[in-house]
Structure 1
């Protein structure tokens, strides 16, 4: 069983518990369910392209940074030009929670991506209820049919979708309704990073698709290389979060790139 298999197994258990606690109708009564969502796609195209991530830990790296608070970090991300914010809401494997989005939603004016392992329609109502503007769809744990179904549901709820792929076979998960396609430089099964592999995959996407390079961007040179190869967006978390001062690291990075 891979790490991804373990995460999905645990996620299904969590969803069952959540459904027993609060119904979809209950989620619809939340503070943020009726808010007008922001467009991550437009923000990526019109700003720096960086989707800066708040992440405490990961299965491959262990604890990355559990000392800082979401609001201080994501506010700085916004102030220094991030196009959007990615926030992990998985607790067991990434140390995140819904509170990490709830604590910042009223204080920032750029889109928030709920980054989690979406395998049930209930999670999309959850995402809407906590103020997410976009959701991540991971091809490795969904069928092409599920990707289409979940994309349509997200759109019905006013949210956008970022489809994450890593293999050539996963290109078949793409459909014309997807808002952004993220190509993960890190293989979710063994966590190895290969930027060139991502470039080759990007070149097989239809022209005009907004593409996002995800994970494994460790320096300005990686960023510039991927930008030169035509990526529109860059989902970056560990590079900033592993620093004692993620906000300061992001400010330094932003000053060293040409956007």
Structure 2
């Protein structure tokens, strides 16, 4: 199995464990379940366009930064102009947790993307209960029908949907209700990065859909290249998180790409 298959198999067991501990009704009765969500569609153009990510580790890079607090980092992301923040909630492979979102929700007035491997309806109710505003659907782990059904459920819960693709075949997963299409510059099966491949895919998207360049953006030059190619937003994490102070690195980056 490739790494994505391995993650999905483990995720199935995690979901079973979660269901045995917290019922759907308990999720619906949680503090944040009834809150009005923030819209990334509204902030993507009005700020930097960057969805700045909090990520402690990854399967390809190992430990990136596990010495900083979620609240400190995402507060600075917001302060310096992030359109949204992305927070990993996968524990086994990315070192995240639900508490990473719960701990910042009251302090952050920006959209929060729950970054995880969404394969079960239960996870959407989890996302709503922890205060997320946007969820990620990964085409490589879902069928087009699942993407359609999960998008409908997400919208019923007032959550926006970012669909991530990496191949031409995955263009078939796009439907008219998707809020954003993210093109992953990194292949989740072998972790190779190819920015030009992402540009080629973007040119095949429906003309009226918002596009997000995801992952593998390692420099100001990478960012400017993708922006010039017409991407509406940019999901970036490692570039900031590998710094001792991710917030300062984000502030510096924003200054340099906007002068």
In structure 1, the partner of 2:36 is 36
Deviations 1:33-85 (A, max 9, x none): 00000111221122110000000000000000000000000000000000000
- 1:164 corresponds to 2:164: yes
* Whole-angstrom distance in 1 between the partners of 2:97 and 2:19: 16
Q: Distance in 1 between matches of 2:131 and 2:6?
A: 27
Match of 2:47 in 1: 47
1:256 match: 256
Separation (CA, whole Å) in 1 of partners of 2:32 and 2:218: 34
1:200 has 2:193 as partner: no
The residue that corresponds to 1:83 in the other structure is 83
Counterparts of 2:126 and 2:63, CA distance in 1: 26
Structure 1, gaps ≥5 residues long = none
Structure 1, 37-46 or 75-84: larger mean CA deviation:
37-46
Pairing 1:180-219 to 2, within 5 Å after superposition:
180-219=180-219
**Residue in 2 that maps onto 1:121:** 121
Residue 2 of structure 1: how far off its partner (Å):
0.5
TM-score, normalised with respect to structure 2: 0.99
Tell me the equivalent position of 1:15: 15
**1:125-174 deviations in Å (ceiling 9; x for gaps):** 00000000000000000000000000000000000000000000000000
In the alignment, the residues of structure 1 paired with residue 2 and residue 40 of structure 2 have an alpha-carbon distance, to the nearest angstrom, of 31
Q: How far, CA to CA, are the matches of 1:24 and 1:45 in structure 2?
A: 35
- Tell me, in whole angstroms, the C-alpha distance in 1 between the residues paired with 2:108 and 2:122: 26
> How much does 1:97 deviate?
0.2
Alpha-carbon distance between aligned partners in 1 of 2:179 and 2:92, rounded to the nearest angstrom = 28
| Cα distance between partner residues in 2 of 1:194 and 1:228 | 16
Gaps of 5+ in 2: none
Distance in 2 of aligned mates of 1:121 and 1:144: 15
Secondary structure at the residue paired with 1:86?
strand
Moved over 2 A (4+): none
**Aligned-partner Cα distance in 1 for 2:24–2:152:** 17
- Give 3-state SS (helix, strand or coil) of 1:46's partner: coil
Structure 1 position 208, deviation (Å): 1.7
* Partner in structure 2 of residue 146 of structure 1: 146
- Looking at structure 2, the residues matched to 149 and 6 of structure 1 have their Cα atoms a distance apart, in angstroms, of 24
Tell me the CA shift for residue 258 of structure 1.
Answer: 2.2
User: Over the residues paired in the alignment, what is the CA RMSD in angstroms?
Assistant: 0.7
Give the TM-score normalised by the residue count of structure 1. 0.99
